[in-house]
Structure 1
Amino acid sequence: MRFEINTAVLVTVLQFLTPAPSLADADAAGYTPQIVASFDASQFQLPESVTMDWAGNFYFSMANTIQKLTPDGQLSQFVALPIPQSSFALGVKFGPDGYLYAGSGSFNPADNASYVFRIDGTGEATPLAHLDPNGFPNDLAFDGEGNTYVTDPFNGQIWKIDSNGQYVVWLQHPLLEGDPDNPVLVGHWFGADGIAFDNNKSNLYIGNIDSGAIIRIPVLPNGEAGTPNVWAQDDRLKGNDGLAFDKSGNLYVAVNGQDALAVIDKDGHLSVLAQGTPLDGPSSLVFGKKSDDKKTLYIASFAISRALGAQQGTPQPNLSKIEVNIGGLPIP
């Protein structure tokens, strides 16, 4: 699949993506992710987010498209989102209604590309909500009432969108804000990014890229946000991106800028499971869905920094996997 990418897009992205400081790997547990599929960085096949359906197909956000990878390894375009070429598809996840949802955004507010799309099985994308063009609708999570929660790292907030597309700012808080004075990715701050509910959906967990924190937000009985608190914070989490819970409450974290995969147990203790090749800017995580795959954690390596020359080395965009002891928490 060949991507038509405007050269100006590459320059724009390069401005904003400088790798985070290297992570010491003294506590790495020795996991070595196994590559499932490799992609072609020269064709801008850089997977920012990944999700999976019940048939074993993977869906990736790549540039302004969603790409589909079949179990036999065939990659094809599922949908080109109706946004400017200088904009980006971001988080992708299946909702409880069976539709695929995707966020989109741009570094340039003039693109007016801040959307959440609902995508049917044929690849037809319909805007669910058109959000603040100054924001960057990123990752997604779903409650049991038909609502979609969307992180906005530029605005330091969480959007809540109902099934009819009506939206509100569910929570805006300093703990969700990026750090303009000391951003991990030089050129723009990034606050609230990865998002995941716990098992009973009583708490929403948010990763903050710049602060290296995981923020826990109680969901009150009336659906409003409770008082957020820092559940975990560590320099080894600076540049954190996608999140995924297992069924025992362990939270897996893709640490994008540090080429690492970390896990935080239910008491907040952090371990680094893997670091370095084949992890290359790991940005998103998803557990397998079938009975023989539920203990497999799949990892999308975005590889954007090396692809654009902001970090030394040959880019290795890929989908890799590790086997863990406990199955993943279903999403949604």
Structure 2
Amino acid sequence: MKKIIVCALFVGCAAAIPDQPTARIEFNAPEAYPEGIEYDSNSDTYFVSSARLGSIGKVTPAGAYSILNNDPTFKSSYGVKVHPDGKRLFACIGDANYSKFTSPDTRKKMARLVGIDIATGKKTDDIDLAGLVQGEHFPNDIAFDSQQNAYVTDSFANVIYKVTPGGKASVFADSPLFKTKGIGLNGIVYHPSGYLLTVSSGTGTLYKIDLNNSKNIAKVSTEQFFVNGDGLLLTDNQKLVVVQNGGSDKIYELTSEDNWSSAKLSASTLVADRFTYPSTATKAKDKVWVMNAKFTELTDSTSVPSRKFAIQHARLMPLPR
């Protein structure tokens, strides 16, 4: 009887809802605690960051992990994104919370956008963002627009930085709407219609920012707030994947029919999928894959550091309209 009740929640459901977790790509990366993930179709590789060690790694679809870059000055690495040129991987580098190598001179102070040559693993770019805004810093996620400008969220300063292709950095968007305690602005994506979409972990609100006028900021009207919202992934112009952790540990799909003035929930993952503090998402071929960051272990002093982590398929089940 329970299966019939649950099944009624989903459109076109003729059989029992799956009760097993989705496919996982497991890999050994002792103490890495990867947060960012990016699939590179050219090399058929997943790039992953490390909140604990700062290293940048790569994972094959078969689960073989290796280090791309292990710069000792990278205290923590978070969001990662392949540059539009396809040759470099960019990463948000800071020392916000979980670094094994944290130090007083960098703790909540470091904010860098770093580029790494995908073929050699050598650093190609290193842009300092910390001097643009006073206070604490947490460079968290990154998006590129059609002109190869980079946009970086700072989850402590609650601003969005802009870095030009030539490496010039500035504050792109700063608004009272963004201000919140704790971790604020987090995931960010570029929409080809000429704006950014970002989510605040602290308030659960989605924002739309006009690229031609960064003061033109609007809240996206949604049916619920996404407190502890983390990574965002635009799968097409009308569909946005939102990763939520902090206890919920679910992935949602939002659909907009009015150019992201508003959006409705269209799909979500199931409790049975058992994500473990999902953080960010990427699309590989026709599927959405999510990084299980396992950050709850980092706040538990009795926890033994994990050696194994998993990239998990997000099976998005349609919700009733």
TM-score range, shorter chain: 0.7 to 0.9
The change in CA–CA distance for 1:311 and 1:168 in structure 2 (over 3 A counts) is: farther
Q: Which structure would you say has the larger Rg?
A: 2
Matched, 1:207 2:199: yes
- Structure 1's consecutive aligned runs of 4 or more residues displaced over 6 angstroms after TM superposition are 25-28, 310-316
Cα distance in structure 1, aligned partners of 2:301 and 2:224: 21
Which residue of 1 is the match for residue 184 of structure 2? Answer: 191
Corresponding residue number in structure 2 for 1:101: 90
Alignment of 1:148-167 (within 5 A): 148-167=150-169
Percent sequence identity over matched residues?
A: 24
Aligned length: 281
Distance, in Å, in 2 between the alignment partners of 1:205 and 1:310 is: 36
Structure 1: distance between partners of 2:129 and 2:70: 19
> Are 1:140 and 2:142 counterparts?
yes
**Cα distance, 1:235 vs. partner?**
5.6
In structure 2, relative to structure 1, the CA distance for the partners of 1:324 and 1:311 (3 Å cut) is farther
**Amino acid of the structure 2 residue aligned with 1:303:** K
Once the two structures are superposed, residues 27-48 of structure 1 have per-residue CA deviations (whole angstroms, 9 ceiling, x without a partner) of: 986676523322458x213220
Instruction: Give the drift of 1:106.
Output: 1.1
Distance 1:136 1:28 in 2: 39
Deviation, 1:278, is 3.1
CA deviation map 1:83-109 (0-9, x unaligned): 25xx21011010112210001111367
Q: What is the aligned partner in structure 2 of residue 283 from structure 1?
A: 279
* Greater relative CO, 1 or 2 (CA 8 Å, sep 6+): 1
TM-score, with length taken from structure 2:
0.78
Does the alignment pair 1:260 with 2:260? Answer: no
Distance 2:7 2:298 in 1: 27
1:246 aligns with 2:238: no
What's the secondary structure of 1:237's corresponding residue?
A: coil
> What amino acid sits opposite 2:150 in the alignment?
T
Distance in structure 1 (CA, Å) of the matches to 2:238 and 2:116: 30
CA shift at 1:313, angstroms? 12
CA deviation string 1:98-140 (max 9, x = no partner)? 2100011113672153110010021112343111173111111
**Counterpart code for 1:47:** P
Q: Structure 1: which 5+ runs fail to align?
A: 1-24, 180-188, 327-332
Partner of 2:300: 309
Aligned CA RMSD, in angstroms, stands at: 3.0
String of CA shifts for 1:199-251, please: whole Å, max 9, x gaps.
x241200010000111111222xxx4141111045665110000011225111
Cα distance in 2 between the residues matched to 1:28 and 1:319: 27
Give the Cα separation in 2 of the matches to 1:26 and 1:117.
46
1:110 and 2:116 aligned? no
Q: Which residue of 2 aligns with 1:78?
A: 68
Tell me by how many angstroms 1:296 deviates: 0.3
Distance 1:308 1:272, change over 3 A: farther
